[in-house]
Amino acid sequence: MTAEPTVVPEFDLSTTYLGLQLRSPLVASSGPLTARIDSLRALEQAGVAAVVLPSLFEEQIEHEDIQAARLGDLGSDSNPEATSYFPDLADYESVVDRYLRHVEEAKKALSIPVVASLNGETAGGWVRYARQLELAGADAIELNLYGIAADLDVTGREVEEDQVELVALIKASLSIPLAVKIGPHYSALGNQATRIIDAGADGLVLFNRFYQPDIDPKTRKVAPTLELSSSSELRLPLRWTAILSGRVEASLAVTTGVHTGADVARCLLAGADVAMMTSALLVNGPGHVAAVERELVEWAAESGFESVTQLKGSVSQRNVADPSAFERANYMSTLIGFTNSFH
């Protein structure tokens, strides 16, 4: 059951993110809860101000659609008794179709802004899908810059250049705001952040929480892991938010490690426009948004703050604790992945 958000008229929760007017700084980051319409509704009902849908992964599109095509071909027209082994499903949706439909349905179901998230692989893919997401009705797009520079010949500079070019390319094809979710691993994060913003990003989301595979000593196999974030992970984005706040012309969002009203307060104090939550909502349910809001409001009241605007960035710059790692909720959804490849 979702609790009604506590309304404390004295405290003005409203904020602006990517040029979008939000009723509060509480945003649901991309994750399983934003993958379903019923939980999206529950989030809205609990008071969330905007939602970021799960990422559309270009490699997932490739993997799944190619596999599905292989499947359709599997054994077909090779035997006199069986022209195929599977029925032709007319309603079958490709990964993109399904995602676009999700964007459309989310827009229909919600009155709060819907941010679509995109994780591309090729320049052509990024631009094509970004445009399709816009056409499907997304209010903004969050680019999920995710890449492990495993190629030993590629320099950090090259990686950074590619990102900047990509952002410019996508921005040029869109008329809705563009947020860029980056990781914390740059030699000079501040400079790269600036260049991304200069290339056209309307906001930065700090940070991408990289998927870190583990090794199971028992089976000696590489094991995918998914650990939920904790409040302690908030410190890394706090530092960078604080550094960037007021010095860049872009919205700032903190994601990873936001669990409580106090966490949100810390984000805002560091200079974030919004605080995004995933793990806390997964653990506590969508209704947790209301609890966090209540905590924030109570804290603000106790501290004598009147509005989020007043709060924002008041403890920005050079006033940050030590960093740690951050969240990445759902790398390719295993729930819907064909885990096999077909001959």
Partner 1 sequence: MRNECVDGNEAAASVAYALSELVTLYPITPSSPMGELADAWASTGQTNLWGMVPRVVEMQSEGGAAGALHGALQTGALATTFTSSQGLLLMLPNMFKIAGELTSAVIHVAARSLATHALSIFGDHSDVMAARTTGFAMLASSSVQEAQDLALVAHLATMQTRVPFLHFFDGFRTSHELNQVAMLEQDDLRALVDDAGVLAHRERGLTPQRPVLRGSAQNPDVFFQSREAANPFYDAVPAAVQDAMDRLAERCGRAYRLVEYSGHPEADRVIVIMGSGAGAVQETVEELNRRGQRVGVLTVRLYRPFPAAELVAALPLSVSKIAVLDRTKEPGAYGEPLFLDVVATLAEASTNGLRGSAAMPRVTGGRYGLSSKEFTPAMVKGVFDELGSEAPLPRFTVGIVDDVTNLSVRPDRDFELPIPKGDVRAVFYGLGSDGTVGANKNTVKIVSEHSDLHAQGYFVYDSKKAGAMTVSHLRFSRLPIRSTYLIDQADLVACHHFGFLFTQDVLAVAKPGATLLLNAPYPPEEVWDVLPEKVQRAIIDKKLKVHVIDARRVAGDLGLRGRINTVMQPCFFALSGILPQEEALDAVRRAVEKTYGRRGPKVVERNLAAVDASLAELHELTVPATVTSTTPLRDAIPTAAPDFVTRVTARILAGEGDLLPVSALPVDGTFPTGTTRYEKRALAQEIPIWDPDICIDCGKCAIVCPHNAMGMKVFPPDVLDGAPDTFASKGFKSRELDTPHLLSIQVSPDDCTGCGVCVEQCPAISKSAVGHKSINMEPISEHRDDERANYAFFDTIPLLDRELLPHDTVKGSQVLQPLFEFSSACEGCGETPYLRLISQLFGDRMIVANATGCSSIYGGNLPTTPWSRNADGRGPAWSNSLFEDNAEFGLGMRLGKDRGAATARALVSTLSDAIGPELARELLDADQSAEEGVRAQRERVVRLRERLGELESDSTARHLLSLADDLVRSDVWIIGGDGWAYDIGYGGLDHVLASGENVNVLVLDTEVYSNTGGQASKATPRGAVAKFATSGKSTPKKDLGALAMQYGNVYVAQIALGANEVQTVRALQEAAAWPGPSLVLAYSTCIAHGIDMKYSMTHMRDAVKSGHWPLYRFAPGSDEHTKPFRLDSRKPALAFKEFALAEARFAMLERSDPERAHHLMALAQADVDERWHYYEQLAGIERSVPHDPGEIVDPEGVATEEVPS
| Residue number, 15 or 60, with CB nearest to partner 1 | 60
Q: Is residue 79 near partner 1 by the rule CB under 8 A?
A: yes
**Quick count: other Cβ atoms within 10 Å of Cβ 243?**
20
Rule CB under 8 A: say whether 336 interacts with partner 1. Answer: yes
Of the candidate residues 23, 41, 107, 128, the single one contacting partner 1 (CB under 8 A):
128
Q: What residues from 210 to 269 belong to the interface with partner 1 (CB under 8 A)?
A: 220-221
**Alpha-carbon torsion 179, 182, 184, 188, what sign?**
negative
Asked if 190 and 239 count as a contact pair (C-beta separation under 8 A), the reply is: no
Contact with partner 1 (CB under 8 A) among 12, 65, 105, 198: 65
Does 81 contact partner 1 by CB under 8 A?
Answer: yes
How many residues bind partner 1 (CB under 8 A)? The answer is 49
Three-class SS state of 58: helix
Span of 2-10, 73-81, 151-159, 304-312 interacting with partner 1 by CB under 8 A:
73-81
Task: Between 217 and 304, name the residue whose CB sits nearer to partner 1.
Answer: 217
- 80 touches partner 1 (CB under 8 A): yes
- What is the C-alpha to C-alpha distance for residues 163 and 169, in angstroms, rounded to an integer? 10
d(CA 259, CA 262): 8
Work out whether 88 is an interface residue with partner 1 (CB under 8 A).
yes
The first and second tokens of residue 53, run together, are 């849908």
Residue 77 engages partner 1 in binding (rule: CB under 8 A): yes
**8 Å CB contact between 100 and 132:** yes
Alpha helices in 179-287, H assignment, sequence order: 189-198, 235-244, 261-270, 279-284
- Least Å distance between CB 34 and partner 1? 15
CB atoms within 10 A of CB 230: 14
Is 93 a residue that touches partner 1 (CB under 8 A)?
yes
If the CB atoms of residues 157 and 221 are measured against partner 1, the closer one turns out to be 221
Q: Under DSSP, is residue 273 helix (H, G, I), strand (E, B) or coil? A: coil
Per rule CB under 8 A, is residue 83 in the interface with partner 1? yes
- Measure the CA–CA gap between 316 and 313, rounded to whole angstroms: 5
The footprint of partner 1 (CB under 8 A) covers 61-62, 64-98, 128, 220-221, 335-343
